[in-house]
Amino acid sequence: MSSHAESLVNQLRHETSPYLLQHQDNPVHWHSWSEETLALAKAHQKPILLSVGYAACHWCHVMAHESFENEDIAQVMNALFINVKVDREERPDLDLIYQSALALMGEQGGWPLTMFLTPDGEPFWGGTYFPSTPRYGRPGFTQVLQHISSTYNSAPGRVRQNVESLREALTQLSKPEAGESLDAEEIDLISLGITRHFDTTFGGLAGAPKFPHFPTLLRLWGSHKRTANPILMSTVTTTLDAMCEGGIYDHLGGGLSRYSTDEEWLAPHFEKMLYDNAAFIECLTQIWTETGNPLYEQRAAETVAWLLREMVVGDAHGEGGFAGTLDADSEGEEGRFYVWSEPEIDSHLAEMDPEIINGFKTVYDVTSGGNWEGNTILNRRRMRGPYSAEREADFGKIRALLLCARASRPRPTLDDKVLADWNGMMIAALSRAARTFDRPDWLDAALQAHAFVIKSLERDGRFLHSWCRGEARHPGTLDDHAQMALASIALFEATGKRVFLERAIDAAEIIEANFADTAGGGYYLSAADTLDVITRPKTASDNATPSGNAVTAEILARLFHLTGNDTYRRRADTLFKTFSGDIAKSPIALVSLINAKDLLDHAQVIVLTGPEGDHELTQMTNIAWKSAIPNRIIHPLLASDSLPENHLAAGALLTIKQATAVICHGQTCSLPVHSGDELRAIVEQ
C-alpha cells in the first residue's frame, strides 16, 4: 500500500491508548494528533474533525456506536474531513485549548468534544455529543458534517472571521487579571462566602449533578481551624459524611465514583478516576486528624485497598504505577457491574441468618423495587449508624460475600495508562495517609509508584505525560512536573530521605525554565518546546484536578518553608499577584491557589531530629503526623544533616544532638522539646 493510501485509512492501531484502540476498527479514517496529521490536512485542503474523549466516558461510547461505527456516516466523515481522535487524558493541553474555544462560542463543554478546525488546527465551530439522527433538539450528525463542510468551502471569509475572533479570545484567556494579595481575614471571608453555595441538607454545592470538590472542602476546613466557625465545620462534615455513606461510594469494593447525578449522592456516574480517589484519601486523612471519625479512617483504608487491588499496572519486571480510570459501563450498560436486585442479594446470602440479612437490606437500602432504574445502588444515606460492633462485623461479612459474587461479573474496562500528574496526586495522598494511619505498606506502595514513574516517564529531569503498554508518549505538561514534584516533597516529609527534597528542588528549576511566563507572570500548561499546539494556555482555574499554577504555588510555598530560600517566596508572591484579580471574581474556581497562598503565609513547620531509631523521636514523629494543626509541614531532619543557615529553626537546633522537635510559625519558632508528651501539649493547645 502506498504511503498516500496508507494515510487514508484508520491509523489508530498504532496507538497504545485504550480509548484510541477502542476506535481502531471504526470505518472512520481516524488519525492521531501530530504535526504529520496537520500536514496531511493541509495537503488535502480539508478541514479537521477533532473528536476528544476518554475510555471511561459513557456518551463517548454512545456517539461511537451511533456514528463512528456507522458505515454511511463514516463515509461522509472520510469524504469531507481529516478525522482526528484524541484521548483527553493523553493530551490535556489540547483538550483545554479546544474546550476553552467551545466555551467562547457560548456552548457547554464536555465529552465527547467535537470540534471543527482549519488545517492549521485553529477552531471555527464545535459542540459535544451529536446524535446520529435529529433528536434531543439537536441536528443529526450527518447534517452537521455537511453543513460545516459547505460553510468551510463556500464562506471562507466567515470561517476566517470565526478563527481570528477565537484566536484573540484564547490569547486573552492566558492574560489573567492581576490584583492585590490576600490576607488571612480575606481568605476566611471567602471561605464563609463559599458556604452559601452549599446544600445544608445533603452537603456539596447545591443542585445536581454533584461533584466532590475536595479542594473546596479543604479550604473551608482550613478556615474552620483558624476561626472555629461552626458553619464551616458542619458544611465540610455534612458533605464528607454524605459522600462516604452515599451511592457515589462503592460500599463493596471501595473507592469513589466521579460524581453523583442527583442531589442526594445516590446515583453516581459510575466511572472511577484515580485523581478523584487521591483527593478523597487526602481529604479523609486531613479531616480525620481533628475529628478522629472512624468512618473516615475506614473509607480511606477501603479506598486504598481498592487502589492496590485493582489499579496497579506495570511492566514485565513486576514494577508498576497506578492506572487512570475504570469505565462506567460494562456489558453495554452504565453501572451494570455495581447494581443489584433484591433476589440476587438473597441468593448470595441464602446461608446466613435471615435477621442479619434483613438488617443489612434495611441499612443498605435494598428493596424489591430498587432505588435506581429498578435496581439497587447500595448506600447508607438513610441509616448511617454506626451500629454495634457485632452488627457492623456482620455487615462486613455480607459485603465480602457480595464483593466475591460481583467479581464473577464482566468487569468495566480498565484504562491502564499511567499518567505522571495523576500518579503524583495519588503518591502524595498515599504517603501522607500512610504516616497518619500507621500503614507502612501504603508508604511502600507510594515509593514503588514513584520509582516506576521516574523510571518510565522521566527523561533528563523532564517528564513525558503518559506510559501505556511499555511506551512513554506525549509532552509533559506543567501539571505533570508540578504534581510529581509535590509527590517528592510528600515522600521527603514521610521518609526523611533528602533525595526526595533534592528532586523537588530540581523540579522547581525545570518548571521555571520550561513553563514560566517571564513577561506576564505565572506558568503555561505547555512547555516552550511543545510545538503542536496553537496556543499555550495559562490558567489558575481548577478543573477536575487542581490547576498546575496552584500546585506550583504549593511547591514554592513548601520549598520556602523547608529550605528558607527566599527565592521560592518571591516566585510564589509573583504567581499570586498574577492571578489575584481572577480569585476575586471566581474564588471557587481558584480555590487550590487560595489554599497554596494560605500555606505560604501561615505554614506551621514541625522540625524533627535526633538519632535514627530513637524512641522519643519515633513517638514525636507519630504525634506530629496525627496533629491537626493547620497548614502543617513535617520537616524530618537526620542527625547527620543540618538546616540551611537561613532556616528559622537553624539556631534552635544548632547544638542539640538528642531527639528534638521545634515548631516554626511565621517568624518565630517554639523552644525545643524532647518528648512526645511535650510535643503533644503544644500541638493540642
CATH number, domain containing residue 168: 3.40.30.10
| Beta carbons within 10 angstroms of residue 668's beta carbon | 8
- For range 246-251, the mean pLDDT: 98
**Mean pLDDT computed over 459-476:** 96
Does 8 reside within a domain?
yes
Give the CATH number, domain containing residue 644: 3.40.30
Does residue 255 have a pLDDT over 90? yes
Q: Confidence band (pLDDT; 50, 70, 90) for 2?
A: very low
Task: Mark whether 528 and 594 lie in a shared domain.
Answer: yes
Residue 229 included in any domain: yes
**Domain ranges, residue 669:** 604-683
pLDDT at 483: 98
Whether residue 590 is contained in a domain is answered as: yes
Rounded to 10 degrees, the C-alpha dihedral 433/436/437/438 comes to: 110
Pairing of strands 268-269, 272-273: unpaired
pLDDT at position 491: 98
In a domain, 345, yes or no: yes
| Length of the chain counted residue by residue | 685
Domain total of the chain: 4
Residue 606's pLDDT band (boundaries 50, 70, 90)?
very high
Specify the residue for cell string 464536555: 110
Amino acid at 523: Y
When pLDDT is cut at 50, 70 and 90, the band that residue 3 belongs to is very low
Decide if 179 is inside a domain. Answer: no
Same-domain status, 376 and 489: no
For residues 106 and 159, membership in a common domain is answered with: yes
Element of type H or E holding 259: strand 259-260
pLDDT at residue 493, as a whole number: 98
> What pLDDT band is residue 1 in, cutting at 50, 70 and 90?
very low
Same domain, residue pair 289 and 437: yes
Q: What is the arithmetic mean of pLDDT over 279-292?
A: 98
Q: Buried b / exposed e across 256-266, counting CB within 10 Å, b at 16+? A: bbbbbbbbbbb
Residue range 500-523: mean pLDDT, rounded? 97
- Residue 624 in any domain: the answer is yes
Of 356, 377, 406, the one marking the end of a domain is 406
Residues 488 and 617 in one domain: no
Instruction: For residue 520, give the amino acid letter.
Output: G
User: 269 and 135, same structural domain?
Assistant: no
* Poorest-pLDDT segment among 20-34, 104-118, 542-556, 642-656: 642-656
Per-residue pLDDT, 347: 96
Q: What percent of the chain has pLDDT over 90?
A: 89
From 605, 624, 620, select the one nearest 664 (Cα to Cα).
605
Which stretch of 479-488, 500-509, 649-658, 659-668 has the lowest confidence by average pLDDT? 649-658
DSSP code for 210 = B
* Residue 655 pLDDT: 57
Q: What are the helix (H) ranges across 351-477?
A: 354-363, 389-406, 420-436, 440-457
Whole-number Å distance between alpha carbons of 373 and 514: 50
**Type of residue at 42:** K
Alpha-carbon distance 186 to 196, whole Å?
A: 16
Helix count and strand count (H, E) for the chain: 25, 22
CA 206, distance to chain mean position in Å, is: 22
- C-alpha cell, 552: 506550583
Kindly report the pTM of this predicted structure.
0.95
Q: Give yes or no for residue 405 having a pLDDT over 90.
A: yes
Q: Strands, DSSP E only, in 277-344?
A: 312-314, 320-322, 325-326, 329-330, 333-334
Higher pLDDT: 316 or 170? It is: 170
- Give tens-digit pLDDT for 551-574: 999 999 999 999 999 999 999 999
Mean pLDDT of 487-511: 97
Given a cut of 90, is residue 318 above it in pLDDT? no
Residues 208-220 pLDDT 10s: 999 999 999 999 9
For the sheet with 632-638, list strands across it. Answer: 632-638, 604-610, 660-665, 668-669
**What grid cell was written down for 612?**
535514627
Place of cell 497548614: 631
Q: Check: CB of residue 241 under 8 Å from CB of residue 284.
A: no
How does pLDDT run across 160-185, given as a tens digit for each residue?
Answer: 999 999 999 999 988 898 888 889 99
pLDDT tens track for 329-355: 999 899 999 999 999 999 999 999 999
Q: What is the pLDDT of residue 647?
A: 75
399 and 476 within one domain: no
Is pLDDT at 434 greater than 60 in this prediction? yes
Q: Rounded CA gap, 482 and 554, in Å?
A: 9
- Residue 245 sits in a domain whose CATH number is 1.50.10.10
Query: Distance between CA atoms of 213 and 544, rounded to whole angstroms?
Result: 8
How many Å from the N-terminal Cα to the C-terminal Cα in the chain?
77
Instruction: Tell which of 173, 197, 224 closes a domain.
Output: 173
Specify if 178 maps to a domain.
Answer: no
> Please, what is the average pLDDT of the chain?
94
Query: Is the same domain home to 146 and 31?
Result: yes
Q: Do 510 and 616 lie in a common domain?
A: no
> Is residue 585 domain-shared with residue 640, that is, in the same domain?
no
Does residue 419 sit in the same domain as residue 281? Answer: yes
Q: Does a structural domain hold residue 256?
A: yes
For residues 451 and 475, membership in a common domain is answered with: yes
Q: How confident is the model at residue 640 (pLDDT cuts 50, 70, 90)?
A: low
Question: To the nearest whole percent, how much of the chain has pLDDT over 70?
Answer: 98
| Residue ending a domain, choose from 363, 378, 406 | 406
